[in-house]
């Protein structure tokens, strides 16, 4: 709602209209940077665990099928 109202400010509307492609590319690039940082941090942590001999049981990573079968858990 606030973004819609801000669009009626002539100065903001003109800038966004002219540079919308740059704004959207910056948003996508920013998101990609966060994803890359998270990926490399997790990769480094996995390597450290492998060197330390810490193993993760693959079964602990599997989602319990009952979670999907039970459906919505909201109060009824």
Per-residue pLDDT of 51-65, as tens digits, reads 888 877 777 778 777
For CA atoms 15, 18, 21, 25, give the dihedral sign: negative
| Number of other residues whose CB lies within 10 A of the CB of residue 16 | 14
74 band by pLDDT with thresholds 50, 70 and 90: low
* pLDDT for res 71: 63
pLDDT digits over 18-61, tens only? 999 999 999 999 999 999 999 999 999 989 988 888 877 777 77
> pTM score > 0.75 for this model?
no
How many whole angstroms separate alpha carbon 24 and alpha carbon 18? 12
């Amino acid at each position: 709602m606030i973004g819609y109202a801000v669009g009626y400010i002539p100065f903001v509307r003109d800038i966004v209209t002219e540079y919308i492609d740059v704004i959207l590319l910056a948003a996508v690039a920013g998101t990609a940077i966060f994803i890359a940082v998270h990926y490399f941090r997790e990769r480094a942590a996995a390597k450290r665990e492998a060197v330390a001999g810490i193993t993760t049981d693959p079964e602990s990573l599997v989602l319990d099928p009952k979670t999907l079968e039970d459906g919505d858990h909201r109060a009824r």
